[in-house]
């Protein structure tokens, strides 16, 4: 089966660091995406990992362990504008096609 598990909500303080974890089970695996979605807006691409290890991009980093079915998104120097939902989305396969499988998302609230 296919299953994505990430925390429903998290809170953090401005300037701090927060780590959002994601565990997944998919049929086939071709990498994992993280998307950011502000309330009432479309998801926007944050990161893509296909190999094990850490990918750093400015204040955001994403880690992948394929053997453990585990990823995390690390946000540093948090800003108020980082308050949003963060969607973990592994790229699995089903019926001969590759498809993104989205988790329910983690709603992050950043407080002053």
Q: Which residue, 78 or 88, has its beta carbon nearer to other proteins?
A: 88
Output the smallest distance, CB 12 to other proteins, in A.
21
Cβ atoms within 10 Å, residue 53: 9
Q: Which residue, 43 or 78, has its beta carbon nearer to other proteins?
A: 43
The position carrying tokens 């296919």 is 2
**x/- site string to other proteins, residues 8 to 37, per CB under 8 A?**
x---------------------xx-x----
Q: Residues 36, 43, 72, 84: which binds other proteins (CB under 8 A)?
A: 43
Rule CB under 8 A: is residue 39 a binding residue for other proteins? no
Q: Which helix (H) or strand (E) holds 105?
A: none
Q: Which residue, 57 or 81, has its beta carbon nearer to other proteins?
A: 57
Three-class SS of residue 56?
Answer: strand
Rule CB under 8 A: is residue 41 a binding residue for other proteins? yes
φ, ψ of residue 68 in degrees (nearest 5): -95, -5
CB 67 within 8 A of CB 41: no
- Dist. CA 102–CA 111, nearest whole Å: 27
DSSP bridge pairs for 54: 63
- Binding residues for other proteins, per CB under 8 A? 4, 8, 30-31, 33, 40-45, 48, 50, 87, 91, 95, 97-100, 102-105
């Amino acid at each position: 089966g296919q299953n994505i598990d990430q925390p429903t909500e998290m809170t953090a303080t401005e300037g701090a660091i927060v780590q959002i974890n994601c565990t997944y089970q998919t049929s086939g695996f071709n990498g994992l995406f993280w998307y950011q979605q502000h309330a009432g807006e479309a998801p926007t691409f944050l990161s893509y990992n296909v190999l094990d290890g850490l990918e750093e991009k400015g204040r955001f980093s994403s880690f992948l362990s394929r053997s453990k079915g585990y990823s995390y998104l690390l946000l540093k120097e948090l800003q108020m504008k980082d308050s949003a939902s963060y969607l973990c989305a592994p790229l699995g396969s089903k019926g001969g096609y590759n498809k993104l499988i989205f988790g329910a998302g983690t709603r992050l609230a950043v407080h002053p």
